[in-house]
Structure 1
């Protein structure tokens, strides 16, 4: 079933997961997109960084969050992109071996045009210890039903 703007309810909270973070993925993403040493050099990071080991790039954490969001919610939604994100926060480092899950809470709906509306939702990502590691508010455009 396709989820349209009219189907989304403010206050709805949905939880989804699990995504296992691998060492290989952390290193590969960082080498390509965020090649800072504490993301790419496990030996040096273990010895010299305040994190005590290699950590995922924050942008990688955002990408993993997006994957969980698409797989669990947006794949069946009549979305046509987003206008951006607000309050993007990296709260706790994500490490190889972590297992991530998300909670998505619909905060607001704004009817923008006859053919679409904006849905603002807070997405929080948690690790296996229920620590919030990431948070953002997405501004997602949903199509409206043409027969209403």
Structure 2
């Protein structure tokens, strides 16, 4: 587990690769984002932007979250306070995606000296190193001396 003392500006974390299958893309879309460019191969081919099946951006985000938790093991979890997100290109069936995280800012709490807000830039890339998701996220990170009493 990583504590605030273990993290510094410029630190980088890289995840394993994850294969986005057609079946998983369709299952996620049927459950959470049922649009034809996520669910129907034939109709997706005629879409003016996607021109084929594309994973929901929320699916790509969910996989990104999974990969974050594996490669960036922050003590007490990734407690988000803010995030911006963009999907500059679609994630496709059989893409292998991975996450690259870089610490870009550490802001100590003004009221609690046992924690800080850590900002990190995430790029989720496919097998061709094309960015399919980019985000800046702020999380709460605790020092080793953290006590639940100070909440």
TM-score with structure 1 setting the length = 0.90
* Structure 1 unpaired stretches of 5+: none
Q: Deviations over 1:94-137 (max 9, x none)?
A: 01100001110000111112232111000100000110111001
Q: Is the 8 A contact 2:13 2:71 kept in 1?
A: no
Q: Is the 8 A contact 1:82 1:139 kept in 2?
A: yes
Q: How many residues align?
A: 144
Per the alignment, residue 136 of structure 1 pairs with 135
Query: Over the residues paired in the alignment, what is the CA RMSD in angstroms?
Result: 1.6
1:83 aligns with 2:62: no
Q: Is the 8 A contact 1:38 1:49 kept in 2?
A: no
* Structure 2 unpaired stretches of 5+: 147-151
For the residues of structure 2 that align with 1:129 and 1:33, how far apart are their CA atoms?
A: 27
Per the alignment, residue 11 of structure 2 pairs with 12
Per the alignment, residue 119 of structure 2 pairs with 120
| Counterpart secondary structure, 2:106 | strand
Per the alignment, residue 109 of structure 1 pairs with 106
| Counterpart secondary structure, 2:68 | helix
For the residues of structure 1 that align with 2:66 and 2:121, how far apart are their CA atoms?
A: 15
TM-score with structure 2 setting the length = 0.88
